[in-house]
Structure 1
Amino acid sequence: MPGTRWTSYAMIGLIFVLLTACGGGPGPNASEASADGKTDGQAAAVPASRMVEHKFGNTQIPAQPKRIASIQLEDMLLSLDAPLVLANTVGAGNYLEQELKARHVKVLSDGKLNYESVLQAAPEVIVASDVITQEEYDALSKIAPTVTYNRRTWQSSILEIGRDLGVPEKAAAVMKAHEDAIKQAQEAVAKAVGEQATAALVRVTAKDLRLYFPAAPGEKRQGYATVLYHDLKLVPDPLVAQLQKKEPARENANVSMELLPQITADYLFVTVGSASGTAEELQKDLDSFAEIQKSPLWQSIPAVRKGRVFTVSAKHWISDGLLADEMKLKDAVKALTSQ
């Protein structure tokens, strides 16, 4: 992950020490005190802090933090109505950017890790994607207690975050509502296209074409095509199954233009660009797709000939999270039930 480094982490450490000295952090006996300041000998109901185990070790955080900085985990944190003060998103044009700004959350959207801005936000806790490096983790930890979670396996991570931030019931409730939404969407799609309809998800960039696979065996709900194949129970195109069998450890395969006519799916979903791409990069990707669409090879795809191609935004389709998946569900249901 790209990151902007301060030339001296000592500066961060010094400011953090000063903040702590002014009462900005918990004292040495914080784990024994309740949220209302009472000691454990006074029958406290809520602990002041809890220990969280994560990829980079064990970290003590406030039991119910009021100021949270997100490093690429804003989807799950917004789902939980967490008190965000800053979001360092994956890149420009993030699918949650407007929602974050509406909640008066400072958004850093250039894809770089900006320590100075994180420091200025004065978070009590930093909640980060575990794709950050050890060096980045160490720098963030000098600003505030930092814990990390796996964004790709968000279905379990959102429950872990809810537990660690003191809102386990909220996490369970949003997951239950999501499962209910999946069930309703699945029924609507089955009614519209039947239970054996085939589908494929193609991603187009200026560099390549990629065909996305269902989750690998043992990974029930992981991958960008999860909504199509797992949630909506659409059948993977035969070419998808064939390519996945050759490379089971991958979640997609690069495909040549010559393979396009072999995509015989009833419905074809196409996403252009990436979640983090700039406007200029997206335009290049769109130009590339426009050229592909002119090709006889593209025109020979059955779904193209039948008008069953649906273009969807890479900003949320090539992203992981409850809110991203709900947007994918809405896209797919709208497309498939309008046929």
Structure 2
Amino acid sequence: MTPARRRHAAGAVLALSALVLAGCSGGAADDEPQGEATSTTATDDDAFPVTIEHAFGETTIEEAPERVVTLGWGAADASIALGVTPVAIPFQSYGGDEEGVLPWIRETLEENGKEIPTVLPDAGEDVPFEEVDAAQPDVILAHYSGLTQEQYDTLSQIAPVVAYPDEAWSTPWRDVVTIAGEALGKQDEAEDVLAGIDAELAAQREAHPEFEGKTLAAVWDLAGTFYVYADEDPRVEFMLDLGFENAPAVDELDTDESTFYFTLSHERLSELTSDVLVVYGTTQEEVDAFLGAGYAQVMPQVSGGAIAPVVGTELIAATSPPTALSLSWGLEDVVAALAEAAAGTA
């Protein structure tokens, strides 16, 4: 659930499977450091030095960082949720505004009276090293990103870099929060953030007992290819937390071509049965085109109206995968779509 990445650039496809972005942003940084480091919660100084293991080895952070630069997806959100406003954040072309700022980040900072950080230039899969250096970071958080070894080595000459634990673009979204908490000396705050999100999910589950036990499949008919998301995909995972069950047909049809999704020919759509069908689409027109296609008419969810549309880059990005800020931002709209679809199956 990444802009020009395997998660989105490689097709907005892979894009939303594990992620949809990977950007860096528009705001040039000059020779002077931009943005003031701000923190609204106390840092546990006893947590330092801290050593974090990751795919490229380990990184030691000697003291509490004051100037934080984030790369990839979710790290900026986690930092802000933990009370630390980064001095520079990546440009997010998928779901972001004209300045590359995601709506939940902008709204949270404005609500807290904080300035928008420097937005790094959109460098695609490259890293804007000069602008990162100009921000004079104490730490670079890139633990949900596509950093290569070479990029990691270059960034490490600027500041300590926290990379992803195992594979690029595959860090579980909850781990994005806890790793940020470890790096920033705010582990208790990280636990509180996650507890708050879990409480929101629990409240929605209690408010919608009709979700309990109903089966769900999540799909995207994109540019002629039909994608089905597995229960390991974070966008599906949080809906299961609401009380839904993964449709048995999803497991039965899974081709194991990816951990998060598989493709299915239009000729086999009648086999993908579920009580509720979540349909992703960049626009309503895209969703309507799928629902009106002849090959979709064989699906009982379509003929029965048990469709939960998730439409628009902002809402898709908010849950693909969710972040410390985005899940709360998009939860109400997604739940409303799920409730309408579930009502038709009662």
TM-score by length of 2: 0.70
**Structure 1 counterpart of 2:247:** 237
2:279 corresponds in structure 1 to 270
For residue 163 of structure 2, what is the aligned residue in structure 1? 148
1:330 aligns with 2:332: yes
The equivalent of 1:105 in structure 2 is: 117
In the alignment, the residues of structure 2 paired with residue 331 and residue 82 of structure 1 have an alpha-carbon distance, to the nearest angstrom, of 28
| Structure 2 Cα separation of the partners of residues 195 and 264 of structure 1 | 17
**For 1:27-66, what aligned pairs fall within 5 Å after superposition?**
46=46, 49-66=49-66
Alignment RMSD, CA only? 3.2
* Mapping of residues 156-171 of structure 1, within 5 Å: 156-171=175-190
Amino acid in the other structure paired with 1:147: V
SS of the aligned residue for 1:69 comes to: strand
Q: Are 1:74 and 2:95 matched, yes or no? A: no
Matched, 1:133 2:148: yes
Q: 1:235 to 1:46 in 2, by over 3 A?
A: closer
1:318 aligned to which of 309, 317, 320: 320
Alpha carbons of 1:324 and 1:97: their partners in 2 closer, same or farther (altered >3 Å)? Answer: closer
Structure 1 contact 198–236 (Cα < 8 Å) conserved: yes
Q: Within 2, Cα distance between the matches of 1:310 and 1:303?
A: 10
CA distance in 2, matches of 1:168, 1:263: 42
What secondary structure does 2:163 align onto?
Answer: strand
Q: Which range is displaced more, 145-154 or 61-70?
A: 145-154
- State the 1:173 CA deviation: 0.8
Deviates more, 1:206-215 or 1:322-331: 322-331
Partner of 2:293: 295
Q: How many Å apart are 1:183 and its aligned residue?
A: 1.3
Kept in 2, the 8 Å contact 1:227–1:328? The answer is no
The alignment status of 1:308 with 2:306, answered yes or no, reads yes
CA distance in 1, matches of 2:205, 2:304: 23
Q: Look up the match of 1:117.
A: 131
Separation of aligned partners in 1, 2:286 and 2:249? 23
Residues 106-163 of structure 1 show CA distances to partners (whole Å, capped at 9, x for unaligned) of 2237334211221222211111135311101011112222112355323234223212
In the other structure, the counterpart of 2:198 is 179
CA distance in 2, matches of 1:54, 1:174: 23
Q: % of aligned pairs identical?
A: 26
* Other structure's SS at 1:224 match: helix
Distance in 2 (alpha carbons) for counterparts of 1:297 and 1:249: 24
Report the CA distance shift for 1:80/1:149 in structure 2 as closer, same or farther (over 3 A). farther
CA contact (8 A) 1:100 1:106 kept: no
Give 2:149's aligned amino acid. Q
Structure 1 residues 252 and 47, CA gap change in structure 2 (3 angstroms): closer
Residues 35-78 of structure 1: per-residue CA shift (max 9 Å, x gap) = xxxxxxxxxx7477443333222333253211100011223223
- More helix per residue: 1 or 2? 1
Give 1:248 shift.
8.6
Question: Where in structure 1 do 4 or more consecutive aligned residues deviate above 4 Å?
Answer: 1-4, 45-49, 286-290
Moved more, 325-334 or 136-145: 325-334
Q: Distance in 2 between matches of 1:47 and 1:180?
A: 27
Task: Judge conservation of contact 2:226–2:265 (CA < 8 Å) in 1.
Answer: yes
| Larger Rg belongs to | 1
The one-letter code of the counterpart of 1:233 is G
Q: 1:99 to 1:289 in 2, by over 3 A?
A: closer
Contact 2:234/2:321 (CA < 8 Å) preserved in 1?
no
Q: 1:323, CA displacement in angstroms?
A: 2.9
SS at match of 1:315: helix
1:100/1:214 CA distance change after superposition, 3 Å: closer
Query: SS at the partner of 1:264?
Result: coil
Partner Cα separation in structure 2 for residue 306 and residue 177 of structure 1: 36
Aligned pair count reads 281
- Taking the aligned partners of 1:337 and 1:287, their CA distance within structure 2 comes to 22
